[in-house]
């Protein structure tokens, strides 16, 4: 054990406090935080790209479940509500229309539909028209079932 001299004492504390209390270099701090943020965003982008690449085509095949044209045509009825598919618009913004008539080909098959929109009538291919997930008939059945259940519940609740 040796004695601590005044010079060693001042040297130790002056360098220690000088480092501790000196103003930080703001450029270095900003650069470090920006680099960290940039690296984080790069990793995030790479992870998302890795998830949604076409490495797994069976995954995308499951997402897009297309049915045959005959099944689609059976879902359509005159007066039914459908969506018009557009490539340049998000699916949430597709216009909702009503089917007015089916226009058959010379072969007798229906491939074109006349639709009523808010702007007027238009004609679209059946391949660009998508039925809603629930048809008006299904909706009517659901409403009838709910009403009957409510009536039964009210009958049971009456004294």
φ/ψ (deg, to 5) at 60: -70, -30
The confidence score (pLDDT) of residue 24 equals 57
* C-beta separation of 46 from 57 below 8 A: no
Helix (H, G, I), strand (E, B) or coil at 97: strand
Q: Is the pLDDT of residue 67 over 60?
A: no
**pTM to 2 decimals?**
0.44
Closest CA to 100 of 119, 116, 83: 116
* C-beta separation of 72 from 126 below 8 A: yes
Q: Is the pLDDT of residue 37 over 80?
A: yes
List of residues 6+ apart from 96 with CB closer than 8 A: 81, 82, 83
The confidence score (pLDDT) of residue 115 equals 94
């Amino acid at each position: 054990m040796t004695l601590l001299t005044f010079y060693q004492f001042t040297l130790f504390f002056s360098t220690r406090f000088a480092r501790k209390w000196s103003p930080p270099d703001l450029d270095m701090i900003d650069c470090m935080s920006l680099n960290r943020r940039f690296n984080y965003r790069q990793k995030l982008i790479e992870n998302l790209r890795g998830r949604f690449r076409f490495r797994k085509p069976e995954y995308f095949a499951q997402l897009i479940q297309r049915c045959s044209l005959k099944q689609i045509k059976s879902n359509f009825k005159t007066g039914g509500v459908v969506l018009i598919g557009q490539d340049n618009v998000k699916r949430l913004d597709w216009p909702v229309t009503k089917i007015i008539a089916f226009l058959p080909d010379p072969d007798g098959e229906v491939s074109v539909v006349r639709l009523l929109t808010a702007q007027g009538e238009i004609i679209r291919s059946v391949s660009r028209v998508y039925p809603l997930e629930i048809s008006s008939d299904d909706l009517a059945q659901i409403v009838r079932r709910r009403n009957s259940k409510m009536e039964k519940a009210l009958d049971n609740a009456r004294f």
